[in-house]
C-alpha cells in the first residue's frame, strides 16, 4: 500500500489523542515524575508485572513518593540501593520488583561515579550508549526480571524515541498495519524497528505511536486519555 494510505490510517488513530505529543515531550526530556529518576525506576519495576498501570501502578508509585521521596528518606539512586526492602515492601509487596529496582539503581550509581554526574545525567548516558540489538547483553537487560518491555520503557523515559513491544502496543499497531496492508514483523526487535520506520514515514515519533496505543484503550466507558486526564500531567 502507498505511504499515503498508511499516513491516513495512522492519523485516524492519532487524532483520538491530540494531547499525546505533550506527554511524550516530557518523557523524552526525562521529566516524568517531576524528573525523579528514582520514581521512574520504581514505576518501571512495578509496571514489569503487567498490572493495570493507572489503577495499580500509579497509586503505588505515588504512595512510595509520599512515604520516601517527600520525607527525604530516598532521594537518589544510591538511597534506593540501600533502602530497607522490608520497609519498601510496605508499599509494594512484590519482592522481585524491588530487587529489579535496586539493581537498576545500582548500575546507574556506578555510571554516576564513573562520569561524575547526577541521577538524570547517568540515566540519559546509559540510554544513549545502550543498543537495542544486544539488549540482553546490556547490564540492565541482564537483570533478572527485566524483559525487553521494561528495557524499552526505561530507554523511553531516559529520552530515546522508541516503542515497547508489549501486547497492547502490538495489538493496536497490528490493526493499523492490517488496514494499511503491511505485514507484522515476527519478532520484537524487527517490530520496534518497523514502528520507528513507520513513525518517521508518517510524520510522528515512535514514542507517540506507543503512548497512543495505551491511551486509546477503553476503561469504564471512556478512553484512558479522558478518564485519567487529571493524572497524566503529574506523571
Report the b/e string of 78-112 with b at 16+ CB within 10 A. Answer: bbbbebeeeebeebbeeeebbebbbbbbbbbbebb
Q: ∠126-58-18 over CA atoms, to 5°? A: 80
Phi, psi (rounded to 5 degrees) for 223: -75, 155
Distances (CA, A) of 53 to 3, 50, 105: 33, 8, 21
pLDDT digits (tens, 9 = 90+) for 7-52: 999 999 999 999 999 999 999 999 999 999 999 999 999 999 988 9
Percent of the chain exceeding pLDDT 90 equals 92
In whole numbers, what is the pLDDT of the chain averaged over residues?
A: 95
Distances (CA, A) of 134 to 108, 152, 193, 205: 19, 12, 14, 23
For residue 221, name the pLDDT band (cuts at 50, 70, 90).
confident
Q: What is the pLDDT of residue 163?
A: 98
Q: What is the pLDDT of residue 112?
A: 98
Domain positions in the chain are 1-29+161-235, 34-158
**Average pLDDT for 191-215:** 96
Distances (CA, A) of 228 to 37, 55, 169, 220: 22, 10, 19, 12
Q: What are the DSSP calls for 84-122, one per residue?
A: -HHHHTTT---HHHHHHHHHHHHHHHHHHHHHT--HHHH
| Cα–Cα distance for residue pair 169/219, rounded to 1 Å | 16
pLDDT at 2 over 80: no
pLDDT digits (tens, 9 = 90+) for 140-183: 999 999 999 999 999 999 999 999 999 999 999 999 999 999 99
Q: Considering the domain 34-158 in this protein, what is its CATH number?
A: 1.10.340
| Cα–Cα distance for residue pair 124/106, rounded to 1 Å | 15
| Cα–Cα distance for residue pair 67/85, rounded to 1 Å | 14
pLDDT digits (tens, 9 = 90+) for 53-105: 999 999 999 999 999 999 999 999 999 999 999 999 999 999 999 999 999 99
For residue 1, name the pLDDT band (cuts at 50, 70, 90).
very low
Amino acid at each position: 500500500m502507498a505511504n499515503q494510505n498508511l499516513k491516513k490510517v495512522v492519523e485516524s488513530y492519532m487524532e483520538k489523542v491530540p494531547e499525546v505529543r505533550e506527554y511524550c515531550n516530557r518523557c523524552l526530556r526525562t521529566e516524568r515524575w517531576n524528573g525523579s529518576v528514582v520514581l521512574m525506576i520504581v514505576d518501571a519495576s512495578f509496571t514489569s508485572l503487567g498490572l493495570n498501570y493507572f489503577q495499580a501502578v500509579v497509586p503505588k508509585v505515588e504512595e512510595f513518593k509520599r512515604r520516601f521521596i517527600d520525607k527525604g528518606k530516598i532521594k537518589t539512586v544510591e538511597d534506593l540501593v540501600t533502602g530497607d526492602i522490608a520497609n519498601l515492601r510496605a508499599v509494594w509487596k512484590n519482592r522481585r520488583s524491588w530487587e529489579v529496582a535496586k539493581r537498576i539503581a545500582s548500575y546507574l550509581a556506578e555510571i554516576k561515579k564513573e562520569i561524575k554526574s547526577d541521577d538524570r545525567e547517568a540515566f540519559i548516558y546509559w540510554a544513549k550508549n545502550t543498543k537495542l540489538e544486544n539488549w540482553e547483553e546490556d547490564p540492565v537487560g541482564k537483570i533478572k526480571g527485566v524483559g525487553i518491555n521494561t528495557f524499552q520503557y526505561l530507554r523511553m523515559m531516559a529520552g530515546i524515541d522508541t516503542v515497547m513491544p508489549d501486547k497492547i502496543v502490538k495489538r493496536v499497531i497490528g490493526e493499523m498495519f492490517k488496514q494499511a496492508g503491511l505485514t507484522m514483523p515476527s519478532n520484537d526487535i524487527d517490530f520496534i524497528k518497523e514502528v520507528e520506520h513507520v513513525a518517521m514515514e508518517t510524520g510522528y515519533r515512535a514514542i507517540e505511536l506507543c503512548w497512543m496505543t495505551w491511551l486509546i484503550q477503553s476503561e469504564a466507558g471512556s478512553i484512558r486519555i479522558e478518564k485519567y486526564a487529571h493524572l497524566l500531567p503529574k506523571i
